[in-house]
Structure 1
């Protein structure tokens, strides 16, 4: 079965897409990646999205319009990717997170927009969507869902191994003799991106090649205040997002002091290095596979390697999943699992009481025909 995975992450800079051809043999699943790409949002749509995200006020009318416009852009990306491989059997879309409701350490709700009916109409294949909420109803955080893929890719490695994704938020999956733990560490690129956009420091909306940060120095007083955020001390499982880590959060911590833009970006970059490295050391991790946009930041990667001299720090490509496309591959996998009746979540990964089959299904052009159910995914290889 060919499944197309789509998402836009907490960096909300564009749409990642992957098409994976899955073949199952008694639970041993092999996926051949046929297509992978990342397509930027149109500038006007991204600007409207950024303006509507918390803590900014918005209206239901704007949410409705964004739901349609994002759904249409996702549909065009999906249609192009599907055509490039001669068609797909199903699509799984994450959509765009606009709010993740966490209160007193418990996830109570989550909202992703990008109306899947537009994708189903454009591609003609059934579409799995709204994949986080079922996990939340079972007591989980709905995140990090990538822990399901990470566990399969890390399975069998000796000692304690981990995969960390450095998107807007940094999340980590840890596997070892004690089982699996996964959670959101804190901001990876979210705060840096917010400052870069607000101050017009780079038209691409992020610190490309860490050029801005490399021109600055760490403000130790600010860094110390940021590291004192109570979120970091919360027990796992836990999740967070831009509802907590956003531009006003940075401004509140700066408190009106005069800090040069380069120094501020350098300090926020160092925050990512310190928080990730601290958790890696605490867990006794010996092998760390890194993915997401942050893996292209030389300052972050150098900082992690310097802070973790006893840890093998590699790109996720070594596990078989492209560091840039791992989460798009994840949603293709979730789509395959949902269509086959397989729970695509591990309780240790999200905190859910039990595994759950994720998502809802929008039929494609014809009758909805489900494949024969599969009991479980015993193993996964990617090529």
Structure 2
């Protein structure tokens, strides 16, 4: 049961576009006292311009930028799109900009190299421009301080998950099935951990778009029409990244269609069989990671686009028969907007001078206040 909220409590607005770049999620949120409970006031998904989306996806999976001018233009265009998402949400709800204390903007990741030297991560979407176009103080660029402190800069949601979902009753895990799948492990006692487990919708969506001309596999129907290719599955699972221990994170620059094609080896396969194999890869790598890192988990709470794929959830259940698997909606949190809500929470943390990372999750040298503040 959600607690009551003071109607005069400050409003925060979170903006998120993930690895799939399937839209900009905007969430208007109120927090309870202490920031350990939240209420989604309203949310929407603002579409990307199709040409801009394709440019961002190509860049995110390892493509090169043509010039510094092109990079500067993209940074500005992403910020304009994020500001448009925020303004659309305010217009639809009738809430004035002055009623929102701050925006927390994730930006669009175009490169993530936590293991390079020097390590770096890069999210486009200039916070200055978002503040200017919305008239709202904007906190942006959350990940780079953690990377500067020796961390991966990801995942950042475990601190939010702990604040919202921590319990002494059971070992829990939160699974975000976005472009990349990631887990937050919340034990009854002990240290919260979180890490990426591998590809999810980024490969499933890309293969579906390539062969069906559709942006995603609605209801998992395409995957359900095929058969798992066990040989291909074994080759994909042999990717060394899967065996590396946490902390770890990844993105499109590692798991993309060219990576898949390299394992296909030019052999002809039914497109539906490849889709079924990619879905099984997601389910298996999540299950492998959960059983290895928190084997006593009794509840797996799912969010992200994959929560709407019943075939994927069925395969997860098959590999995790002792775990109760369900949507976060059962605990009063909207699974479609959880990450946007999380960046609203991170903005609140930053403005209050509180850290937003967990060093046991990211590998940073310690807790850090994240993000840069751009006043209205």
* Same fold, TM-score > 0.5, yes or no: yes
Q: Would you say the 8 A contact 1:107–1:136 is kept in 2?
A: no
1:171-221 Cα offsets, whole Å, 9 max, x none, are 101121332111111111111122223x24133x11111121111111110
Q: CA RMSD in A?
A: 1.6
SS of the residue aligned with 1:103?
coil
Partner of 2:86: 78
**Aligned with residue 14 of structure 1, among 13, 23, 47:** 23
1:1-383 → structure 2 map (5 Å cutoff): 1-24=10-33, 27=34, 29-59=36-66, 60-83=68-91, 84=93, 85-87=95-97, 88-103=100-115, 108-176=119-187, 177-197=189-209, 199-203=210-214, 205-282=215-292, 283-284=294-295, 285-364=297-376
Residue 99 of structure 1 deviates from its aligned partner by: 0.3
Residue 49 of structure 1 deviates from its aligned partner by: 1.9
Cα–Cα, structure 1 residues 81 and 319, in superposed 2: closer, same or farther, change >3 Å?
A: same
Task: Give the number of the structure whose residues are more often strand, by fraction.
Answer: 1
When structure 1 is superposed on structure 2, of 140-149 and 82-91 the one drifting more is 82-91
SS of the residue aligned with 2:192?
strand
Give, in whole Å, the separation in 2 of the partners of 1:286 and 1:316: 14
SS of the residue aligned with 1:355?
coil
Stretches of structure 2 that go unaligned for 5 or more consecutive residues are 1-9
Give, in whole Å, the separation in 2 of the partners of 1:118 and 1:239: 29
Number of residue equivalences? 359
TM norm structure 2: 0.91
Q: Would you say the 8 A contact 1:218–1:270 is kept in 2?
A: yes
Residue 108 of structure 1 deviates from its aligned partner by: 1.2
Give, in whole Å, the separation in 1 of the partners of 2:168 and 2:202: 31
Residue 68 of structure 1 deviates from its aligned partner by: 1.4
TM norm structure 1: 0.90
Give, in whole Å, the separation in 2 of the partners of 1:258 and 1:112: 37
Task: Give the number of the structure whose residues are more often helix, by fraction.
Answer: 2
Stretches of structure 1 that go unaligned for 5 or more consecutive residues are 365-383
SS of the residue aligned with 2:212?
coil
Give, in whole Å, the separation in 2 of the partners of 1:138 and 1:119: 26
Cα–Cα, structure 1 residues 292 and 118, in superposed 2: closer, same or farther, change >3 Å?
A: same
When structure 1 is superposed on structure 2, of 172-181 and 250-259 the one drifting more is 172-181
Give, in whole Å, the separation in 2 of the partners of 1:56 and 1:291: 29
Give, in whole Å, the separation in 2 of the partners of 1:343 and 1:276: 28
1:94-127 Cα offsets, whole Å, 9 max, x none, are 01000001326x8811000012222111211110
Residue 245 of structure 1 deviates from its aligned partner by: 0.5
